[in-house]
Structure 1
Amino acid sequence: MATVNNYERDTEYKEHRNKVFKRDANEVYTYDGTSAELQKDTDRLSEFIKHHLSVQRPRLDMLNDYYEGLNFNLTRSKRRRENHMADNRVSHDYAAYITDFINGYFLGNPIQIETQDEKVAEELNSLTRINDLDSHNRSIGLDLSIFGRAYEYIIRNQDDEIRVYKSDARNTFVIYDTSIEENSLVAIRYWLVETNEQQEDIYNVDVITTDATYFYRANTTTNLKLIERKPTERHLFGRVTITEFRNNEKRRGDFERVVPLIDLYDNAQVDTANYMSDLNDAMLLVKGNVDLSDTNVVKLQKEANMLHLEPPEYESDDGKVTEGDVDAEYIYKEYDVNGSEAYKDRINSNIHLFTNTPDMSDEKFSGQQSGEAMKYKLFGLEQRTAIKEGLFKKGLRRRYKLIEDMLKINSELERSKTLRDLTFKFSRNLPKSLSENIQAVSQLSGIVSDETKLSLLTFIDDPKAELERMKKEEDEELERSDNREYSFDQQDETTEE
């Protein structure tokens, strides 16, 4: 089958992928020394920043572009092939579909944090309300799905509030020690301030250590040498206040491994679109000796969407006149409809297969299905999410360790209290059958406690509060019953008199 623009043979695309997906584009930075030694070694810090800018940042930018629908084939400026042929650019939003679906499935329902201590529960509720941690957690999950890593920055602001923020994964990284525990030594945030007339990129750099934040400025012309831009600010957290969350052990995004398949699908659809466009401008082939000298006549025939061809006449030696042959047809490339559509369907199927996401256009997935049947269809996604959940809990534990230390320093939490024994409960965000849920829970009567049964009902967020409301209603009903009985007794006594 002839191809239109030969996208599969694109050497520019291969060079682009080789540049972005370098072996060390996802390297975890380590330093053999202490946090104080690394902070003083500004030349080494500059090397880390330079490597992140030149090697790691291109991969992160590429993943962000795909999430925003700016696929490589769409954004390149160089025109392909012949100038007279169509050059459609088609971008398919697979990356956003995969990311939003997985993140919604994982963190669409708020994380339930459980503790037996009422004072700790009050502090947690206050922190959640001030920082809107439910939305914050979903934002962290979004970066995890796109970049394979996310960064959380905790500060104590001027109002003596503990605030939790997300730091952009494209310009943040943590340097760890070389121990088996992988302790955080230093975290670095950098961002572009300006590009001056000499085309010099100037960056602001924040270096966060276990006890302070150092503020620098760096310039590309000076090899990113760190120059102090304002005085150091001390903090009392006792740890690096930026926490790295990981999507998986390899820090890979959820759609990263199928980026080549997304490109193939874009290419296939582009070839089809360009074929259809080029077909409208197909070349007309006229066979025969036809007089086309009068261009006005030819133009009028084209505007009338018709072609009148007068065949030539040939006279033989004996005076006999015969007409010549005339034929006209359009020339266009052959298009294997069935083969091309089967190819695109196979790519689409593989994208969903390798990302463990369902294809909502698949009739086999839609329709009325039980909750258990749905779970089996999402079994692969559940395995991936279980890994995300375990690593997310690790980041949450570090978050609340930092918060606990600061609360105790400021005497906002008693020394005997702790945030280190919290229980984090994740619940998948799936459409549920209410009747199935109630029926399953009702069968547990006499087997488990009422609180456990209520916790299994998907529409009840706080089983303890629900039990208290039930008890209150029972007491009110008992009181009304007693009042009615008292009224009846009073009426009986009056009748007897």
Structure 2
Amino acid sequence: MAVSIDAELLGDVNEPNIKAINYALQELQSRKDRLDKLSDYYNGKQAIGNHCFENTQVKPANVMVNHAKYITDMNVGFMTGNPVKYTADKGKNIDDVLEALKKIDIHKHDIELEKDLSVFGYTYELLYLKATSPIVSVDSKGNEKQTPNTELRVEVVDPRAAIVVTDDTVEHEPLFAVFVQSKEDLEGKADGYSVTVYMPKKIVEYRTKSSMRLSDNDKPIKETENIFSAVPLIEYRNNEERQGDFEQLISLIDAYNLLQTDRISDKEAFVDALLVTFGFGLGEDNDDMKALKNGVLEAPSRDDGADVSWLTKSFDETQVNLLSQSIENDIHKVSYVPNMNDEKFMGNVSGEAMKFKLFGLENLISIKKRYFFDGIRRRLNLIQTIVNIKGGNSDVSGCDISLAPNIPVNLSDVVNSIKSADGVIPRKITYSWLPQVENPQDVIDEMNKQDVERLKEQQKALQEQDPDRLEVEDGQDDSSPDNEREEQDDNYGKRTRGL
């Protein structure tokens, strides 16, 4: 999560300010506990694992149903199952930018980005240039020349390892960013930290030997030019509050796991019930003890009320099951993620019924998309800078960004709607309703091509059935009705002129 400060406190924004860097590092460390907890819940390290009974003789089952992972994985699939689409503004070209996005496999990157957004509520993306094999060329004199070459790369950065510092204006423009990596020696022991500071014009790296904090005497061990001319560490937000998708559900998740754990523990206690005898006892050498070991024991036939029974704790399984379902329903209701295993969530419902079932999820995704696109626009501007430096001519201003959620749709209803709207709404709009269609114009071209081929096939079939008829249609002879009409017109003209 970005932290805001007064830009005037930095002086020159392109010169490292140790005091400001340490302030950012302190803010980064203060958020670690919260982020660690969210990461643990996604990975299955939840509070139920530490649950225990007061009676140390009873070992809890500690059942963990990972609703946190289910919510995140489903949201990631819904949100980024389909790739983001980019459409250049009218009269502008973004082909070089799209080619750069293709080379770095941006769809896979967006999936990883959305996963961190769903878990932590915010995350970071780092763009950088990696040196590759130089470009070899030969000049007019036959001399070989090597030109340095770089490739654009992008990586998701764990929010526990990075922070962006912005100004305190309403626009919150990035001033600098800090990326921290813990270092270890060859024996696996902690060996300080690497602290990299990204400024608009330069990138500097520090190295500490103990704590993460820098001292006034620390000098950069490496300094390079920032060719992006802007902070290349981009913050993405999941929502305005920067909360994870399951963060507000942790208490419900804990309650569900505790209830399931108690149910299993009660079952185990029922199996390990105590045997109680009334009016008689059992000895080690008694025949009754032998019968007990064989699984058969009967109370003596006496008139003093002798009896034998199991001492068990009774509970209403129906009420427990209702409580379990109630908690699970609350989890899905608050998270807006439907329970795909619910019997009511059938696969044969109509398209309209499906829309109502997924209405909350679609609203959630629409909010997530708005904040996701804010980071993407900053990404496009940074990539544009690089591709244009390398000779490109891209302009991403006004670029349209769209994302079709990967949500089940009733395709037959969509097709029927397109048919009904034909002639009323332009096909370029109606064809965009089809899922998995990136460019409606491509569909229009394919349909026109299909119509031409169908017409050719019809003409070919007619020719095979009646060749003479097609001959007459191709070249009209003198006996055709049109020629007769022309002769009649000529005769009429002669008669009128005679008059």
Residue equivalent to 1:332: 312
Residue equivalent to 1:268: 259
C-alpha RMSD over aligned residues: 3.2
> Partners in 1 of 2:457 and 2:401 — Cα distance?
41
Whether 2:415 is the aligned partner of 1:403: answer no
Q: Is the 8 A contact 1:39 1:186 kept in 2?
A: no
> Amino acid of the residue matched to residue 270 of structure 1?
T
Does the C-alpha gap of structure 1 residues 178 and 477 become closer, same or farther in structure 2, counting only changes over 3 Å? Answer: same
> Partners in 2 of 1:302 and 1:234 — Cα distance?
84
Residue equivalent to 1:177: 167
Residue equivalent to 1:23: none
Q: Is the 8 A contact 1:39 1:45 kept in 2?
A: no
Does the C-alpha gap of structure 1 residues 346 and 485 become closer, same or farther in structure 2, counting only changes over 3 Å? Answer: closer
Does the C-alpha gap of structure 1 residues 438 and 37 become closer, same or farther in structure 2, counting only changes over 3 Å? Answer: closer
Per the TM alignment, residue 472 of structure 1 is displaced from its structure 2 partner at its CA by 4.2
Tell me the number of residue pairs that the alignment of Structure 1 and Structure 2 aligns. 451
Residue equivalent to 2:157: 167
1:245 to 232, 236, 243: 236
Q: Is the 8 A contact 1:120 1:419 kept in 2?
A: yes
Per the TM alignment, residue 367 of structure 1 is displaced from its structure 2 partner at its CA by 4.3
Per the TM alignment, residue 469 of structure 1 is displaced from its structure 2 partner at its CA by 3.4
Residue equivalent to 1:155: 128
1:381 to 349, 355, 361: 361
Q: Is the 8 A contact 1:31 1:176 kept in 2?
A: yes
Q: Which runs of 5+ in 1 are unaligned?
A: 1-26, 312-321
Question: For 1:411, what is the secondary structure of its paired residue?
Answer: coil
Residue equivalent to 1:394: 374
1:290-343 per-residue CA deviation (whole Å, 9 max, x = no partner) reads 2x34357565333211235557xxxxxxxxxx8644222222223122222222
Higher-Rg structure is 2
> Partners in 1 of 2:91 and 2:46 — Cα distance?
50
Per the TM alignment, residue 477 of structure 1 is displaced from its structure 2 partner at its CA by 6.2
Residue equivalent to 2:397: 420
Question: For 1:158, what is the secondary structure of its paired residue?
Answer: strand
Q: TM-score, normalised by structure 2?
A: 0.81
Does the C-alpha gap of structure 1 residues 256 and 432 become closer, same or farther in structure 2, counting only changes over 3 Å? Answer: same
Q: Is the 8 A contact 1:86 1:278 kept in 2?
A: no
Residue equivalent to 2:7: 33
Residue equivalent to 1:436: 413
> Partners in 2 of 1:383 and 1:478 — Cα distance?
45
Question: For 1:266, what is the secondary structure of its paired residue?
Answer: helix
Residue equivalent to 2:107: 134
Q: TM-score, normalised by structure 1?
A: 0.81
> Partners in 1 of 2:338 and 2:371 — Cα distance?
24
> Amino acid of the residue matched to residue 144 of structure 1?
L
Residue equivalent to 1:217: 207
Does the C-alpha gap of structure 1 residues 302 and 223 become closer, same or farther in structure 2, counting only changes over 3 Å? Answer: farther
Does the C-alpha gap of structure 1 residues 178 and 430 become closer, same or farther in structure 2, counting only changes over 3 Å? Answer: same
Per the TM alignment, residue 125 of structure 1 is displaced from its structure 2 partner at its CA by 3.1
Per the TM alignment, residue 479 of structure 1 is displaced from its structure 2 partner at its CA by 7.0
Alignment of 1:56-455 (within 5 A): 56-74=31-49, 76=50, 79-115=52-88, 120-159=93-132, 160-194=150-184, 202-221=192-211, 223=213, 225=215, 227-228=218-219, 230-290=221-281, 292-295=282-285, 297=287, 300-310=290-300, 324-413=304-393, 417-455=394-432
Question: For 1:268, what is the secondary structure of its paired residue?
Answer: helix
> Partners in 2 of 1:87 and 1:224 — Cα distance?
47
> Partners in 2 of 1:376 and 1:485 — Cα distance?
50
> Partners in 1 of 2:172 and 2:252 — Cα distance?
35
Does the C-alpha gap of structure 1 residues 326 and 296 become closer, same or farther in structure 2, counting only changes over 3 Å? Answer: closer
More displaced 10-residue stretch of structure 1: 158-167 or 463-472: 463-472
Question: For 2:260, what is the secondary structure of its paired residue?
Answer: helix
> Partners in 1 of 2:320 and 2:209 — Cα distance?
51
Q: Is the 8 A contact 2:207 2:221 kept in 1?
A: no
Does the C-alpha gap of structure 1 residues 491 and 376 become closer, same or farther in structure 2, counting only changes over 3 Å? Answer: closer
Q: Is the 8 A contact 1:29 1:175 kept in 2?
A: yes
> Partners in 1 of 2:391 and 2:428 — Cα distance?
34
1:418-441 per-residue CA deviation (whole Å, 9 max, x = no partner) reads 112110112121222222111100
Q: Is the 8 A contact 2:109 2:155 kept in 1?
A: yes
